[in-house]
Amino acid sequence: MWKFLAAPAGPRGISPLSASRARLFSSTACCAKQKIHEGGYIKEREEQGQKWNSGSQNENEPAVIAIKNATFYRQYPSAGQPQIHNPPLFPKTTFYLQSSVTPKPPANLPREHWVVIGSSDKSNFLDVLRGRFICTPPAARSYPYLTTHKAPADAIQYVGFSSSQGLSAKGIRGSHMSARYESRKEITDFTLLQYLNGQTSLNPLEEEVVEDEESNKRLGQILRDLKLQDHVDMPVSNLSNGQTRRAMIAEALVKNPEVLIVDEPFMGMDQQAVPALSRLLYQVTLSGAPRMVLGLRPQDPIPSWVSKVVVLGQDNTIALQGDYGEVFGSLKLWQAVASRRVKPLSVKGSSGNRSQSGQLELLPRNNKEEEEYKSLSLQQQKEYDGLEKLRERGQFDAHAHVLSELDILPKQPKRLEKRIPPFGEPVVEMDGVHVQYGDKVALGDWTQEVNGEKKQGLCWQVLRGQRWGIFGPNGSGKTTLVSLITSDHPQTYSQPVKLFGRSRLPEPGKPGISIFDLQSRLGHSSPEIHNFFPGRLSIRASLESSWAETFISKPNLTPQASLDIDSALRFFEADLNPDFVPWSQTPTTRSLAWANTITFSTLSAAQQRLVLFLRALLHKPDLIILDEPFSGMSPSLRDKCLHFLEVGEQRLPSTGTRNCNSPDYVEAWNLPPLSPSSGVPRHVGIADDQALIVISHVKEEIPEILNRWMRLPTPSGGSVVGDGQTSDGEAVLDFRMGTLDEHQTVADDLWGKVWESEPAPRRVREETQVGGGGDVRTADLIWPATVGKAVA
């Protein structure tokens, strides 16, 4: 249900909310300024000099980015070319990013900062802003503020964190997955300072660095703002996940841009680290530059210092755009209409039979809905009435898609049906693991009680049939733990670790387990594999590599394995094949040749994660390790993957079906008919004799089938300032381990406990000086669990 509540005010009265939840807060004075076309899509219009669906242009201030009624293409469009091969991107788009060149703006009127909320199409829109893709008409995209300043390529800096955009894409990474754990330093292991100064050639010259007092002063300020001053001599390949993100942002800031575009800054960050990074991003904007554009996933929280929002629609379109309050005021009305009860209308045919007309009849509003409707302004009521008519005519699909992507469609409660399989022999055994580099302990800096005896380090077993969730803040040792299991960490040989009952080194009367035997029994998907995976492999070859000893060696395939791959490709064809045609329009038997021609490097980041997820499952390993497997995926694709993990191709209840916003998940996910030959699915989900380990920072990405959990503690070495908090304001977490019964899930019963807080929103208060006037701005960040709640 929808609620009109007075939201807590952030800067400029903006409510700090999650992009995927309520998002539904705004003052009752907000009114929707979007005109809904009769066909059900959002149409631009001009009204009183304002351009809805855009940031309005102030003629006294030249825009940094100005886009007026433009359409974009990947290739130059030709008259005879089918649109399916070169579809338009963001047709008829108008967008303005103001320069705000007022000499001394008031402290309460900061420069414009934007967020772009979307899933797979978000990066395309950010590319449009920085000058990519073909613009028609050519003059519709311009950079007026930059005509007398910098070129757009220098003035607009982009920071992305996927494998095709991060440090690995620039050749700044280890030579192999174990390199980050080795003490040997290669000549190509550039330090952070060399990276920031641009000295990343094989033989960097001192002359490449421009030594002047102003540049050094700016670099020092950036390092302090992003808390990197203590790591300038560390090799970039050895930086942690959070440090790497800050280093990439620092490298862009060194170029003194007018606009900084950061794509998915919070992906892979734990719940505690996100507010800290938000504060750092806000801190670097206080000097007046750069203007910030953040690309956020639907589940990401929105920093309160953001003033403008773009919500993307289906197939590279813009659904809503404008001031924060106006956009979420519109979404609130959409959600209210989507929540209304309906019944389908039927029509009487010539034969006398009645059939469904595709139209709906909205049932009368109940007392609560009527009361809320009367509380709306006249403009809001008019907008609400128009949305009602669209839904009755069956033309509400565009709006429903946006609500579904944002995961705010109303859902009916569904009963959990989780079966806990019998447990078998151990597949992972750790008896006092303690990983340390010099004075720094990376894993095992605690004491556990095992069978009444206290032991130092990590003592842990994973049995067949167990499904583990591993949680903890960034730097707590999750990646180190996985690297010990996969044998990528050199200390696997010296630590008390047994894998499938054997250690890596031979023992009396028992040979050690070989790396090839180990790899054949593991299925692993992680950001590290994503960074090193060869982009030249086709989709089919990428999946076949799970039967090979290395990424590019010849796979040992059987006919049954090939059929398993075919079946998985059919199941996910709608998500991988750019020329996909709905199954209802074509025969059930179709060619899978597209999987042989599309290479891994040409896929989007979400599609690449999907391929790596399937690669970890298809060879049916004894142990499946999924480390952030669904990062960057849309909610729909994430739920489809969760369904495949739990029940395969079967039409059975799963985490995915319970999360699905559509009543018909088969249609929503574009699922194919069951195998035409036998009608029996080849994939039936994780087996009882398989073990599962899942690592994630987002509770929506965690399968409900988990029956064990472990939380790693806050890394040692950080400063504690009191009240159980670090100097960054993060709670100090200890080591914990526990179980989940058949009625419990991580999302509903454990998430608050994992982070040592109640499910209520976690509020982070930021106090930073604005300019030199001494005014203090508070920036709050509210987590996605805040549906229907306001914070004092």
Question: What pLDDT digit, counting tens, does each position of 701-751 carry?
Answer: 999 999 999 999 988 755 544 455 555 556 788 999 999 998 899 988 898
Stretch 324-329: mean pLDDT, rounded? 90
**What was the pLDDT predicted at 668?**
86
Mean pLDDT of 613-642: 94
Structure tokens at 569: 């490709």
Mean pLDDT along residues 757-773: 32
**What does the alpha-carbon distance between residue 568 and residue 542 come to, in Å, rounded to a whole number?**
13
Q: Tokens 């929103």 label which residue? A: 761
For residues 388-423, b (16+ Cβ closer than 10 Å) or e, as one string? bebbbeebbebbbbbbbbbbbbeeeeeeeebebbeb
**Chain CA centroid to CA 14, Å:** 24
Q: Which residues contact 173 (CB under 8 A, 6 or more apart)?
A: 167, 179, 237, 531, 532
| Domains observed in the chain | 1-149+258-344+354-411+760-792 (3.40.50.300), 426-754 (3.40.50.300)
Identify the helix (H) or strand (E) that includes residue 134: strand 134-136
Q: What is the pLDDT of residue 117?
A: 94
Lowest-confidence region among 180-189, 500-509, 648-657, 677-686: 180-189
Q: What is the pLDDT of residue 160?
A: 87
CA distance 354 to 404: 31
Tell me the β-bridge partners of 100: none
The mean-pLDDT minimum among 163-172, 395-404, 438-447, 460-469 falls in 163-172
pLDDT score of 531: 84
What pLDDT is stored for residue 496 in this prediction?
95
What is the model's pLDDT at position 28?
A: 28
- Residue 632 is predicted with a pLDDT of 82
- Tell me: pLDDT of 475 over 90: no
Question: For the chain, what's the residue count?
Answer: 792
Tell me the C-alpha distance between 417 and 414, whole Å: 9
- What backbone phi and psi angles, to 5 degrees, belong to 126? -65, -35
Picking from 95, 36, 143, the residue whose alpha carbon sits closest to that of residue 309 is 95
Query: How much is the pLDDT for 180?
Result: 62
Residue 185: predicted pLDDT: 57
> How far apart, in whole angstroms, are the C-alpha atoms of residue 778 and residue 792?
13
Q: How far apart are CA 580 and CA 592, in angstroms?
A: 11
Indicate whether 767 pLDDT > 70: no
Q: What integer pLDDT is reported at residue 273 of this predicted model?
A: 81
591: amino acid identity, one letter: S
d(CA 675, CA 673): 6
Residue 787 has pLDDT above 50, yes or no: no
Share of the chain above pLDDT 90, in %: 39
Residue 661 has pLDDT above 60, yes or no: yes
Q: pLDDT value at position 444?
A: 93
Q: Is 11's pLDDT higher than 60?
A: no
Spatial distance between the Cα atoms of 613 and 686, rounded to a whole number of angstroms: 13
Mean pLDDT, to the nearest integer, of 430-442? 89
Q: What pLDDT score does 635 carry?
A: 87
In terms of phi and psi (left: phi > 0; alpha: psi -120 to 50; beta: otherwise), the region of 90 is left
632 backbone φψ class: left, alpha, beta (φ>0; ψ -120 to 50): left
The answer to which of 6-10, 123-127, 567-571, 601-605 has the lowest mean pLDDT is 6-10
How does the average pLDDT of the chain come out, rounded? 79
Measure Cα distances from 270 to 228, 300, 620 in Å.
19, 11, 30
Contact between residue 492 and residue 504 where contact means Cβ atoms under 8 Å apart: yes
Amino acid at 735: F
Residue 312 per-residue DSSP state: E
Instruction: Please tell me which residue, 579 or 272, carries the higher pLDDT value.
Output: 579
Is the N-terminal amide bond of 290 cis, ω within 30° of 0? yes
Flag whether pLDDT at 33 surpasses 60: no
Is the pLDDT at 18 greater than 50? The verdict is: no
Q: How much is the pLDDT for 605?
A: 87
pLDDT in the model for residue 176: 58
**Which pLDDT tens digit goes with each residue over 207-229?**
455 567 778 888 888 888 888 88
Question: Mind listing the pLDDT tens digit for each residue in 142-188?
Answer: 998 876 656 777 789 999 876 555 555 455 555 556 656 665 555 55
Residues 218, 290: Cα–Cα separation, whole Å: 13
Compute, in degrees rounded to 10, the torsion defined by CA atoms 225, 226, 229, 234: -170
CB atoms within 10 A of CB 9: 14
Location of structure tokens 């472990």: 710
616's CB contacts (< 8 A; 6+ apart) are: 523, 524, 525, 546, 624, 625, 626, 629
